[in-house]
Amino acid sequence: MRALLKGHIVVAWCSLWIPGPAWCLQTEGTQIPEGTVVHRDLDYVGDGHPRHMLDLYVPPGVETPPLIIWIHGGAWLAGDKANPRPLPYLNKGYAVASINYRLSRHAVFPAQIVDCKTAVRWLRANAARFGYDAERFAVWGESAGGHLAALLGTTGDTSVFEPLDGFEVTSRVQAVVDFFGPTDLLQMDDRRLPDGMVHNAPDSPESKLVGGPLQENREKAESANPVRYVSPEDPPFLIVHGDSDPLVPHHQSELLAAALEAAGVPVTFYTVKGAGHGGFRDPTVAALVEEFLARYLGTPAVTR
């Protein structure tokens, strides 16, 4: 029984989205608008590493659209840039970028956030080349991707994790959408559900991320916490989390929302009642995302 439970948890962490009939973004088979320009496997580092590639989708009929940057989940162990959740927003006039980053089997933290920052800087430096607005970037991620999205948001006003990539541009983003991302690795077991994942285990995703058991690598784990870097200069956040999440405790989002509010950062925190690790059936979630992106990136003027 224990082995089955462990296997179930690993699958859930890797899929990170349990399809629901109401609003969940089903990107397999999503109709991309005719005329969308799709650039695949753009090397944002220049080293040819498959985890240093991104895909870019630029919709037709919109002059310099805002850009939504998708960061996939997968417990920092798995996942890929294919089929990004924000693809349906192409129909609303947003450009979409979906990035790969090094997983924990390739390199331990901070490699993952350094890659994300490098990708953001590359996207900003190449905005005129591809035709989107360099000053209107939102980052959106779920679970492990939510963690990295939150880190992008809270460290944009600092030099921490900034790569030496030659781009004289900032990795700051204008808005963050964080779906059930970890925010304080050292507190994850404090509020886990009775049948939830044990994060302090030496083989947990978080321990693999930092290169050893969490509680034996507290300084490294602390450096990976988005809550550590919250400041009044951070961009607006939308945080969504189910209150029955067995993998990332709901308390993780409570911690981040409270820190952002205390710093005076605009934050919308929505709890999906009865929901687990994604699979949200609550239509309010879709409305909140659309409203948030329109408020902080502007509503694209689609002419097609």
Distance CA 236, CA 264 (A): 10
* Predicted pLDDT at 144: 98
pLDDT beyond 60 at 11: no
Please state, as a whole number, how many other Cβ atoms lie within 10 Å of the Cβ of residue 223: 17
Query: 123-142 burial, b if ≥16 CB within 10 A, otherwise e?
Result: bbbbbeeebbbbebbbbbbb
Number of residues in the chain: 304
Q: 160 or 201: whose pLDDT is higher?
A: 201
Residue 206 lies in a domain: yes
* Predicted pLDDT at 163: 82
Q: Which two tokens stand for residue 144?
A: 């492990």
Residue 46 lies in a domain: yes
CA 294 vs. chain centroid, Å, equals 18
With CA atoms as reference, report the closest residue to 121 among 69, 78, 47, 85.
69
Distance CA 156, CA 171 (A): 6
pLDDT level of residue 168 (50, 70, 90 thresholds): confident
Average pLDDT score over residue span 81-86: 96
Element at 255 (helix H, strand E): helix 250-262
Q: Is residue 87 within 8 Å of residue 57, measured between CB atoms?
A: yes
**Strand 267-272 vs strand 237-242: parallel, antiparallel, or unpaired?**
parallel
Distance CA 304, CA 173 (A): 28
Min mean pLDDT across 25-29, 47-51, 80-84 is at 25-29
* Predicted pLDDT at 28: 54
Condensed to tens digits (0 to 9), the pLDDT of residues 183-223 reads 999 999 999 999 999 999 999 999 999 999 999 999 999 99
Mean pLDDT for the chain overall: 90
When computed from its CA atoms, the radius of gyration of the chain, rounded to whole angstroms, is 18
Average pLDDT score over residue span 1-20: 32
* Predicted pLDDT at 301: 77
Instruction: For residue 84, give its domain range.
Output: 2-21+33-297
Residue 27 lies in a domain: no
Residue 302 lies in a domain: no
pLDDT level of residue 15 (50, 70, 90 thresholds): very low
* Predicted pLDDT at 167: 75
Q: Is residue 52 within 8 Å of residue 58, measured between CB atoms?
A: no
Please state, as a whole number, how many other Cβ atoms lie within 10 Å of the Cβ of residue 282: 19
pLDDT beyond 50 at 143: yes
Q: Is residue 106 within 8 Å of residue 50, measured between CB atoms?
A: no
Average pLDDT score over residue span 274-297: 96
Distance CA 179, CA 277 (A): 9
CATH number at residue 159: 3.40.50.1820
Q: 302 or 69: whose pLDDT is higher?
A: 69
pLDDT beyond 50 at 113: yes
Number of domains in the chain: 1
Distance CA 3, CA 64 (A): 51
Average pLDDT score over residue span 61-81: 97
Distance CA 67, CA 89 (A): 10
Average pLDDT score over residue span 49-66: 96
Q: Is residue 28 within 8 Å of residue 83, measured between CB atoms?
A: yes
User: 178 in helix, strand or coil?
Assistant: strand
Residue 63 lies in a domain: yes
**Longest distance between any two alpha carbons in the chain, whole Å:** 56
Distance CA 34, CA 81 (A): 21
Residue 303 lies in a domain: no
CA-CA-CA-CA torsion for 11, 13, 15, 16, nearest 10 degrees?
150
Residue 28 lies in a domain: no
Condensed to tens digits (0 to 9), the pLDDT of residues 216-258 reads 999 999 999 999 999 999 999 999 999 999 999 999 999 999 9
